[in-house]
Amino acid sequence: MSDQNSGTESEATPVFEAAEYDDGSITYPPHPVGPNGSERVGTVDLGEYDARVITWTTSMATPPGVREPNTLAIVEFDLGEGYDGPPVRALGQVAEDAAGDPFDVAIGDRVEPVHVAELREPGAGIREPESQSWDGFRFQPVE
């Protein structure tokens, strides 16, 4: 976000927001009620963690306002040995290389989240643009 008042561009750090619940479990996305009826007690920024590719696909026929082709992956975050709740996963676009093509990924690859201001064109599809956010995190292979 830009700071309109100061006239300078100070970027707020985007948060990859997951929810933490009173039973210790974490979900992405957050839900008002957690697994087994647990109560939400906090927020975890998944942007601080690496993840592993569970599976991936490249979609060649994409809806209006979506890049084509669109490589997508389901990833599972490595939250460290201190976390023993259900796996925390996310589905997201695979990041693009310098040429603008999505990186090649394979099952088991390690990736890190990279923030993107607009993942698809708001309003090009059927979803009401104001009803949700359009920024988010792509996944980039870790060297």
Partner 1 sequence: MERVAIIGASMTRFGQRDAWVRELLAEAGEAALSDAGIDGDDVEHLYVSNMASGEFEGQTGVPNALAHDLDALPAYTARIDQTSSSGGAGVYAAWQSVAAGASELTMLVGGEKMTHRTTAEATDVIASLTHPVEYKHGVTLPSFAGLTARLYLDTYDAPRESLGKVAVKNHRNGVDNPHAQFRKEVDLDTVLDSPMVADPLRLYDFCPITDGSAALVFCPESVAAEYVPEGEYAVISGIGGATDTHVVHERADPTTMGGVVDSSTIAYEMAGIGPDDVDVAELHDMFTILEFLQSEDLGFFEKGKGWKAVEEGVTDRDGELPINTSGGLKSKGHPLGASGVAQVYEIYQQLTGNAGPRQVEADIGLACNVGGFGNCVTTTIMEASQ
Contact status: 43 vs partner 1 (CB under 8 A): no
The nearest distance, CB 48 to partner 1, in angstroms, is 18
Q: Tell me whether residue 21 or residue 56 sits nearer to partner 1 (CB atom).
A: 56
134 near partner 1 (CB under 8 A): yes
Q: How far apart are CA 141 and CA 102, in angstroms?
A: 10
Q: Does 131 engage in binding with partner 1 (CB under 8 A)?
A: yes
Q: Does 25 bind partner 1 (CB under 8 A)?
A: no
Q: Please report whether residue 67 would count as binding partner 1 according to CB under 8 A.
A: yes
Distance (Å, whole) CA 13 – CA 15 = 6
Tokens of 97: 């290389």
Q: Measure Cα distances from 77 to 35, 60, 69, 137 in Å.
A: 18, 27, 25, 13
Distance (Å, whole) CA 67 – CA 69: 6
By the rule CB under 8 A, 70 interacts with partner 1: yes
Q: Give yes or no for residue 92 binding partner 1 (CB under 8 A).
A: yes
Check residue 55 for interaction with partner 1 (CB under 8 A): yes
Q: Which of 22, 46, 48 is nearest to 33 (CA)?
A: 22
Residues that bind partner 1 (CB under 8 A): 27-29, 54-67, 70, 72-74, 86-87, 89-93, 107, 119-120, 125-127, 131-134, 136
